[in-house]
A and B are shown apart, each in its own frame.
Chain A
Amino acid sequence: NAGVTQTPKFQVLKTGQSMTLQCAQDMNHNSMYWYRQDPGMGLRLIYYSASEGTTDKGEVPNGYNVSRLNKREFSLRLESAAPSQTSVYFCASSERVSENNQPQHFGDGTRLSIL
């Protein structure tokens, strides 16, 4: 049982390049999330998907797009990478987004550097 799996684990891009971060969960969770973590700022929500077929903006959506491909998979795309998007990206999932005390389970992160 892998939980939440993110690929790739590390990536270096040049400014302007595009790439997609992949996330898959095998816990049959309905809700999935993408966060970025920067030093001194904690985790900030980029986008989330409450259920298959829906996506919503989080706190810092600009410069990103997402796709909830199916119940298992939620991808994050950078269309034109900028140095400000250098960060550690975490994908997470939970059973349902709107129920109290539902914890989120995290993947082990993607370390992205943009030169």
Chain B
Amino acid sequence: RKEVEQDPGPFNVPEGATVAFNCTYSNSASQSFFWYRQDCRKEPKLLMSVYSSGNEDGRFTAQLNRASQYISLLIRDSKLSDSATYLCVAREGRALTFGSGTRLQVQP
């Protein structure tokens, strides 16, 4: 079983739609969490950290549910430029554990 699991998608949504991704993690000792964005054949880039109280950055909202061990990312008013793979990441001790990513394709 993977330590961080994501639905690989692809999620195909029209521009302007709201889309949500979930991610589950298996290690209850995981200390902190992130969402990274990766464009095709490019390096991962930090999108946002995830806090227990939930946090928002513009059109993006991240939530953490420690009891159920899942993390979510909500994207409102999707743009074509949001098309990418979104990586869920959990910190366990000194290492980051990456999910395999969820691919989003926003269509005109």
Contact = CB atoms under 8 A, between A and B. Distances in A.
B55 to A, nearest CB: 11
Contact of A42 (B43, B46, B93, B99): B99
Interface string B3-47: 010001000000000000000000000011010000001111110
B44 A43 contact: yes
Contacts of B98: 35, 42-44
A97 B92 CA distance: 11
Interface in B34-75: 34, 41-46, 49
A42 B38 CA distance: 11
B91 interface: yes
A40 B100 contact: yes
Interface residues on B, range: 20 to 34
A106 B32 contact: no
Interface of B: 2, 4, 8, 31-32, 34, 41-46, 49, 87, 91, 93-96, 98-101
A90 B95 CA distance: 15
9 contacts: A35-B98, A40-B8, A40-B100, A90-B44, A101-B49, A103-B49, A105-B46, A106-B44, A106-B45
A12 B43 CA distance: 20
B94 A42 contact: no
A41 interface: yes
Contacts of B99: 42
Given A42-B87, A42-B101, A103 B44 contact: no
Given A40-B8, A40-B100, A106 B95 contact: no
A104 interface: yes
Contacts of A58: 95
Given A42-B101, A101-B32, A56 B94 contact: yes
Tell me which of B87, B95, B99 has the highest count of chain A C-beta atoms within 10 A of its own C-beta. B95
Given A48-B95, A106-B43, A108-B42, A41 B32 contact: no
Nearest to B94: A97
